[in-house]
Amino acid sequence: MMQRKKQPQLTRQAILDAAGGEFSQGGYAGTSLGRLVATAGLTKGALFHHFPDKRTLARSWIEERLASAIAALWIAPLEHADSLESLRTLCRLRLGELAAADATSTLSALAAEVPAAEDLLGRVLGKIFDAWRGAIAGLLERGKAAGRIHRSIKPAAEAAFLVALITGVTVTTHSAQAAETRRACLSSLDDYLETLRNQPT
């Protein structure tokens, strides 16, 4: 009976919690580690005990929190779905809230901020996008197999298109007065999804 850890890195988790709020609000460059520990009632000692530097903290937060948040929001709900309706419903649910500080918009913000290509953070974010695309592609594959989705569509390409679209909607309409524009996007999204349907004719 080797009971590993009764309190599994409690302080470390608190730091990651606080990091979530800060990164969501200010992005990577806009996040101050001093403010982070202050608002969370922690200390720099604790922070730098668990994480060697800011970049590693960001990477850990992305991997351990953001990735799972996206998985819970966008991947798990589609796991066994194969209909355009489920996709449509999920999009309307997630994009309708217009929650400005949720995981989706944080992912978008970080992806847009990261110094582009060969950076480590960029690759970590890229993996999240890949998983997301994979989930949608999976749904489309299953939909094709079930005859619900038209044979001619390419799941991987369509999934990339959709992830780009969702990301773009959060970026271009995350201000309060953009609610109307957001609804317009969702309306067109409906029409677009219909074009994927397999016509019974």
198 binds, among DNA, a second copy, none (CB under 5 to 8 A by kind): none
C-beta of residue 16 within 8 angstroms of C-beta of residue 37: no
CB-wise, 42 or 111, nearer to a second copy?
Answer: 111
CB-wise, 38 or 72, nearer to DNA?
Answer: 38
- Is there binding between residue 120 and a second copy (CB under 8 A)? no
CB-wise, 50 or 150, nearer to DNA?
Answer: 50
Torsion over CA: 63, 111, 156, 69 (sign): positive
CA distance linking residue 149 with residue 55, whole number of Å: 43
C-beta of residue 109 within 8 angstroms of C-beta of residue 27: yes
CB-wise, 12 or 150, nearer to a second copy?
Answer: 150
CA distance linking residue 51 with residue 71, whole number of Å: 24
Which residue shows structure tokens 């990577």?
A: 28
Q: Please provide residue 149's backbone torsions phi and psi, each rounded to the nearest 5 degrees.
A: -125, 145
Long-range CB contacts for residues 120-123, cutoff 8 Å, separation at least 24? 120/55, 120/59, 121/28, 121/55, 121/58, 121/59, 121/62
Instruction: List binders of a second copy among 126-155 (CB under 8 A).
Output: 126, 129, 133, 153-154
Instruction: List binders of a second copy among 48-107 (CB under 8 A).
Output: 100-101, 105
Size of the site for a second copy (CB under 8 A): 55
Minimum distance from CB of 7 to a second copy (Å)?
35
CA distance linking residue 153 with residue 155, whole number of Å: 6
Q: In the complex, which residues of this chain contact DNA (CB under 7 A)?
A: 5-6, 9-12, 31-35, 42-46, 48-50, 52-55
Among 120, 123, 127, 145, binds a second copy (CB under 8 A): 123
Contacting positions for a second copy (CB under 8 A): 25-30, 100-101, 105, 108-109, 111-113, 115-118, 122-123, 126, 129, 133, 153-154, 156-158, 160-161, 163-169, 171-178, 181-182, 184-185, 187-189, 191-192, 195
